[in-house]
Amino acid sequence: MKFFESVLQKYSRYFILGPLFKFIEAVFELLLPLLVAFLLKLAFNQGFNAALNYVWLLPLLSPAGAVAALVCQHMAAKASQGSGTELRRQIVSKIQRISLENIIGDGAEFYLSGATDDVNKLQTVIAMTIRLLVRAPFICIGSILMTLFIDRKIAAVMVGILPLFGFGIYFIIKFIIKHYRSQQVARDRLTRLISDTYNGLRVIKSFNGAIKQRENFASADRNLIDITSRIDFTAASINIWIVLFLQLTELGILYLGGVEISQGDMIKPQLIAVINYFNQMIMATLVVANLAILFPQGFAAAERIKRILNLPELPEPPESRAEIAKVKASWSKNTTNGLEIINVSYTYPGAAAAALAGITFSLNPGETLGIIGGTGSGKSTLLKLMLGFYLPNSGEIKIGESVLRQHNQAAWGNMFSYVPQGGVLFKGTIADNFPDSDGVRQALETAQAGNIVNWPDDRGKEVMSAGKNFSGGQRQRLSIARALLVEAPILLMDDAFSALDFYTASLVRQALAKNYPQLTKVIAGQRIETVSKADKILVLDAGRQVGYGSHARLMCSCPLYQKIYLTQVGEARGESV
């Protein structure tokens, strides 16, 4: 719970001042019934004119209480919104420092809901606690003390119902909180289905899967409705029983007060004051009852936020960044001792078979490595291992003398720029997607994207979500150009030419060799022409390394490479191996 403690410390003045001003408001509120009873008693005993001498106190107390309430509201807003902002910042920062395995295992919707819906619920709980919950004990205790000052018997009745009410609220929270956990899971499932439908809309339509997707959504929606209905029904039932219990208690107090008035132990103005105090206590306890429905949501949200913030982080020794910076600075001066993959194997969590097994190769500064293989052969997984997104189950990944396991991914990632599959653009403008650098024009021309973006005139050009206003080939070329602006010695390209025609892809490769000769490149793809000119070529099949060497060598020694070549190139030329 250290992260919550840090939030409390950062906004401690608001957490202290808010309840303090709420206490001041409660004091003024509690003085009003006593003052009214005093004025009525004075009017009965000494006449109406005698009471008029003190009436001026009434308009004085009300504005003072209102000012205190406004200050409390302001403090509650500062505390809740500030805490929410800090928690969101911590969650986003945490996501940047945890393993990609955690993100994939839990699902993106888990973290999305944690950073949005759960933080919003916690903000509401904080605001309601300062504005309403802390008021309840002030009003309840104050009402009992004021009633005790008037009549001890009725005060004893009021004291007796509070523990019963407290136990009731405790069991309500305990009962409802498990339903809110189920609601969280159901909401996450619905969010995931909506996200999958949006991202895979074209695939769903092409395979006539709309009906099945609607059925899945309807099932998830019904499940969420059922859980929410049970929670709402329970909440409504609770309010009915609480109001009935408190009204019966008020009826008993009226009866007891009537008996004491008939016996001469109490006067009518005092009974009016007691009823006012009891009504104040009723209102305070009803607020707590309503918050009893809200707080289980907050507790469940806090548990998920706690789970996210307690996830283990990738290691980052103090010397990690300095060592990587040193390797990066000396990279271009070396001709050997570059990137090494030594007998690396990796299995995704929960998978039955290894995604990669026994991969070994080396790459010197300035060289180009091509990785080829069919769909599911492990090309993307290998690049993500090289980036440090995953840690290999066995084997080592080294850059010079530095080993991946000894570094944080953020530090290790400074050695690489990366072009993901399909090309990824962020919503905003071209300027939001490209750093303001002197090399932008050269990078765009190298990626054959100069006709897409005219830099710097098109800096303000709109980019829709996921770059939907650009074609697949345009997104890929812009992604390549952006990667070239990263000051990293190794460029990783994950099937970055798949949406480009052969001629454009050839122009990009030629421009890369001409304009960035010092750049070490790792190019993964399924086309033979994408990798055939590389210094070294790695052939993968179902996660296994089945070939490694130059194009000429593989044409003589690797059956799978020969088959790929003949399928894509040789048959068109009438060649045979």
Helix axes 57-97, 119-128, angle to 10 degrees: 160
Torsion, Cα 138 140 145 149, to 10 degrees, reads: 130
Distance from C-alpha of 550 to C-alpha of 370, rounded to nearest angstrom: 9
Could you read off the pLDDT of 365-394 as tens digits, one per residue?
888 999 998 888 888 889 988 888 888 888
Find out whether 306 and 137 touch, Cβ atoms under 8 Å.
no
Q: How would you write 499-552 as a 3-class SS string?
A: CCCHHHHHHHHHHHHHHCCCCEEEEEECCHHHHCCCCEEEEEECCEEEEEECHH
pLDDT band with cut points at 50, 70 and 90 for residue 333: low
CB-based burial of residue 459 (10 Å sphere; 0-12 exposed, 13-18 middle, 19+ buried)?
A: middle
Task: Fill in the DSSP letter of residue 406.
Answer: G
Question: Strand, coil or helix: what is 268?
Answer: helix
Distance from C-alpha of 386 to C-alpha of 398, rounded to nearest angstrom: 9
pLDDT band with cut points at 50, 70 and 90 for residue 413: confident
Across 43-57, 244-258, 279-293, 347-361, the highest mean pLDDT is recorded for 347-361
Look-up: residue for tokens 């750093």? 435
Neighbouring residues of 180: CB distance < 8 A, sequence distance ≥ 6: 231, 296, 297, 299, 300
**CB hemisphere CA count around 41 (13 angstroms):** 14
CB-based burial of residue 500 (10 Å sphere; 0-12 exposed, 13-18 middle, 19+ buried)?
A: buried
Distance from C-alpha of 523 to C-alpha of 380, rounded to nearest angstrom: 10
- pLDDT, greater one: 268 or 563: 563
How high is the pLDDT of residue 49?
72
Distance from C-alpha of 540 to C-alpha of 302, rounded to nearest angstrom: 45
* The two structure tokens encoding residue 467: 């770059």
Distance from C-alpha of 561 to C-alpha of 374, rounded to nearest angstrom: 11
How high is the pLDDT of residue 345?
92
Nearest to 540, CA basis, from 409, 378, 362: 378
Name the percent of the chain lying above pLDDT 90. 3
* Of 27-36, 119-128, 322-331, 411-420, the least confident: 322-331
Distance from C-alpha of 488 to C-alpha of 345, rounded to nearest angstrom: 26
Distance from C-alpha of 328 to C-alpha of 315, rounded to nearest angstrom: 20
How high is the pLDDT of residue 371?
92
Distance from C-alpha of 504 to C-alpha of 530, rounded to nearest angstrom: 11
Q: DSSP letters along 64-103, please?
A: HHHHHHHHHHHHHHHHHHHHHHHHHHHHHHHHHHB-HHHH
pLDDT band with cut points at 50, 70 and 90 for residue 50: low
* The two structure tokens encoding residue 415: 């050695």
H or E element at residue 341: strand 339-346
pLDDT band with cut points at 50, 70 and 90 for residue 327: low
Mean pLDDT over the full length of the chain? 80
